[in-house]
């Protein structure tokens, strides 16, 4: 099974959240990846901060996480899933942020499970499999 990490899951890894770190440790190297929009969101969050020890520490932790996890590239299949996700939810009157739709589209295009704490918004995406590792629930036992 392949797992993709939402922005909040990468943030949990950067903070050293034991529940998320322990689940990740049980995966093989190629089973986990970061979608490109997540990299953009984290980079933006760090860039917004004033130059400080905190910003440097966050950048170091982000660099460490990026060095350990593969990337999920933005492909044509992702673009098609993005359009589908946005259109379907819009027709239902349920708007979704572009970055959330893009991250969901990556998971759908790859048939992956999205690791996220953003269940409220992302469970609305049809056929998207999600798990919240930060809750401490472990369906694998």
Q: How sure is the predictor about 99, in pLDDT bands with cuts at 50, 70 and 90?
A: very high
Per residue in 47-65, pLDDT tens? 999 999 999 999 999 999 9
Return the percentage of the chain with pLDDT > 70, whole number: 96
Contact 55, 18 (CB under 8 A): no
* Average pLDDT of the segment spanning 98-121: 95
Q: How sure is the predictor about 77, in pLDDT bands with cuts at 50, 70 and 90?
A: very high
pLDDT, position 136: 63
Q: Which two tokens mark 121?
A: 């918004």
Contact 103, 6 (CB under 8 A): yes
- Domains present along the chain, CATH in parentheses: 3-135 (3.40.50.1010)
* Average pLDDT of the segment spanning 115-141: 83
Mean pLDDT in the chain? 93
- Tell me: pLDDT of 137 over 80: no
pLDDT, position 47: 96
Greater confidence (118 vs 138) lies with: 118
Distance CA 39, CA 35 (A): 7
DSSP H or E run through 129: strand 129-131
CB neighbours of residue 129 within 10 Å: 15
């Amino acid at each position: 099974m392949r797992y993709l990490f939402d922005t909040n899951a990468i943030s949990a890894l950067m903070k050293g959240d034991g529940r998320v770190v322990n689940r990740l440790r049980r995966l093989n190297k190629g089973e986990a990846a970061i979608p490109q929009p997540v990299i953009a969101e984290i980079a933006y969050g760090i860039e917004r901060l004033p130059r400080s020890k905190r910003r440097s520490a966050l950048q170091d932790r982000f660099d460490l996480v990026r060095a350990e996890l593969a990337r999920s590239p933005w492909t044509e299949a992702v673009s098609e899933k993005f359009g589908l996700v946005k259109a379907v939810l819009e027709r239902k009157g349920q708007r979704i942020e572009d970055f959330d739709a893009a991250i969901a589209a990556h998971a759908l295009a790859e048939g992956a499970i999205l690791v996220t704490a953003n269940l409220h918004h992302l469970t609305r995406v049809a056929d998207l499999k999600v798990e919240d590792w930060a809750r401490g629930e472990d369906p694998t036992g």
